[in-house]
Amino acid sequence: MPSLKSFCFSALSLLMLNSTAFAQEKAPVAAEATPKQSETAPVETFALPETIDDFEQLIAFVEEIDSLEPTGSGEREMIAHQRKVARTVVAAAETLFAKKISDEDAMQSVYFKLQGLHILQELDEPKASELLVKAIEVALADKRSDVRAVGTKFMVESGFAQWDTWDEEEKAGLIDRIIQVVSSSEPEGSQVDLVMKVVGFLSQKNSEVYARQLLSKLMPHFQSSQDPQIQQMLTLLEGIERRMNLPGGTMKLSGTLLDGSELDWASYRGKVVLVDFSATWCPPCRAEVPHVLKMYQDYHDKGFEVLGISLDKSPEEAEAYIEQMKIPWPTMFSKNPAERFWKHPMAVYYGVTGIPLAILVDRDGKVVHLLARGENLSRELRRLLGEPVARSQQRTDALVQQVSNPPASNK
């Protein structure tokens, strides 16, 4: 029987994927073309089987209704059919959950119910959002840790989906709720995983203030645990917290360069420095290199430096790519084979869990940006160093040309 961690591609998953894709990709139509369920109309579902006593029977039923064809081929019929399927999934999951079942079956039935409600929300089912919120709260209040974990997952993902539309009060409310939910039970490894995912999301949204708040409140909760798994995960979590607290502070770097020499981090003071964690096996890292090279060309003469930190597994891989791309800046690489890849000391110290990770440091040695890639890097360099050298020279030449050759008078 699948567990929560492995359950990612069942019949319901396919149903949800297809329904969501249909909801997102359908062509715009007039408002009246999308069927709305009346607040008072009876809610249609497919007939439930006489018995649903365990998860195997539930998933067999879901596969059965998922194979049914809609009554028509138009958009109205398709949406109505998807709603009916999702409602039936919710009803079947509720039927199973109400029985005396194993914790595993309870967890799976809650997962199905919340997924069904989520799809109904996507398909504009009346009251689906309200029902989803209530169902999440019921799951969060359950005595079974696996059921609570499902409720927490949906609470967080629902918040992520709405994050860009929320005001600061609503965002703070989600963070407070996550803190309350996690801290209200004994520390678990799944909670650490959840916090890492939330922090990763917040950092991508330039919402480090909320990430710092989350970590500062929950670190003592995890540090109090004697669980060996949590203790092992704490090193990474402490590194992530250290990284999230970098903005406005100084960055500590030490170690060896690819040529075997020691890094002299103090010599970079007075320069704007991009500290770039990357690897040759990382496609997004390779895709970013041309842009960084362009920024280096434009701003190096104005005080811009780049310091690479390679997470490659061998020096030969890093050296070959540097030579191929003609990368002019120095790159850190550990001499110790046991401290390479994700175990590079600086990657561990700053809790690096994904690359490319580009951190920008100003002339005073203060960290000013944790996501200095693409347009973020271009914008920050303009702010800190002005216009690129080449562009500034072009404007100067144009001005000189204009002064030397004023436009002819019309008089």
| DSSP codes of every residue in 60-111 | HHHHHHHTPPPS-SSHHHHHHHHHHHHHHHHHHHHHHHTS---HHHHHHHHH
**Residue with tokens 């310091």, as numbered in its chain:** 307
CATH number of the domain enclosing 301: 3.40.30.10
**Residue with tokens 């809610």, as numbered in its chain:** 43
Query: Is 153 in the same domain as 9?
Result: yes
Query: Is 132 in the same domain as 274?
Result: no
Q: What percent of the chain has pLDDT over 90?
A: 78
Query: Is 276 in the same domain as 147?
Result: no
Domain assignment present for residue 166? The answer is no
Query: Is 148 in the same domain as 289?
Result: no
Query: Is 123 in the same domain as 9?
Result: yes
Cβ-based burial of 338 (10 A; exposed 0-12, middle 13-18, buried ≥19):
exposed
Q: Dump pLDDT digits (tens) for 71-101.
A: 888 888 999 999 999 999 999 999 999 999 9
State whether the Cα torsion 4-7-12-15 is positive or negative: positive
Q: How far is CA 46 from CA 49, 62, 85, 89, 191, in A?
A: 9, 11, 7, 9, 37
pLDDT given at position 390: 62
User: What total of structural domains would you count in the chain?
Assistant: 2
Query: Is 142 in the same domain as 270?
Result: no
Domain with 309, as residue range(s), is 265-394
More confident residue, 212 or 393: 212
Where is the domain boundary, 144, 159, 174? Answer: 159
- Pairing type for strands 272-278 and 367-369 reads unpaired
* DSSP label of 268: G
**Mean of per-residue pLDDT scores for the chain:** 86
- Angle among Cα 280, 283, 286 to the nearest 5 degrees reads 60
Domain assignment present for residue 369? The answer is yes
Closest CA to 85 of 111, 66, 59, 61: 66
SS3 354: coil
Query: Is 34 in the same domain as 155?
Result: yes
Domain assignment present for residue 290? The answer is yes
Domain assignment present for residue 218? The answer is no
Q: How far is CA 165 from CA 125, 126, 154, 162, 276, in A?
A: 20, 20, 18, 6, 31
Cβ-based burial of 405 (10 A; exposed 0-12, middle 13-18, buried ≥19):
exposed
Domain assignment present for residue 190? The answer is no
Q: Given a cut of 80, is residue 266 above it in pLDDT?
A: yes
Domain assignment present for residue 365? The answer is yes
pLDDT given at position 23: 37
Closest CA to 181 of 47, 277, 190, 109: 190
* Cis bond before residue 315 (omega within 30° of 0): no
Query: Is 289 in the same domain as 153?
Result: no
Distance CA 373, CA 365 (A): 19
Query: Is 21 in the same domain as 135?
Result: yes
Residues 201, 354: contact at Cβ < 8 Å? no
Q: Given a cut of 80, is residue 126 above it in pLDDT?
A: yes
Closest CA to 173 of 193, 197, 186, 156: 156
Domain assignment present for residue 37? The answer is yes
Query: Is 152 in the same domain as 290?
Result: no
Q: Given a cut of 70, is residue 290 above it in pLDDT?
A: yes
Distance CA 58, CA 229 (A): 33
Domain assignment present for residue 249? The answer is no
Query: Is 147 in the same domain as 275?
Result: no
Where is the domain boundary, 127, 159, 191? Answer: 159
Query: Is 13 in the same domain as 154?
Result: yes
Contacts of 77 (CB under 8 A, 6+ apart): 70, 71
Q: Dump pLDDT digits (tens) for 132-185.
A: 999 999 999 999 989 999 999 999 999 999 999 999 999 999 999 999 999 998
Where is the domain boundary, 116, 143, 159? Answer: 159
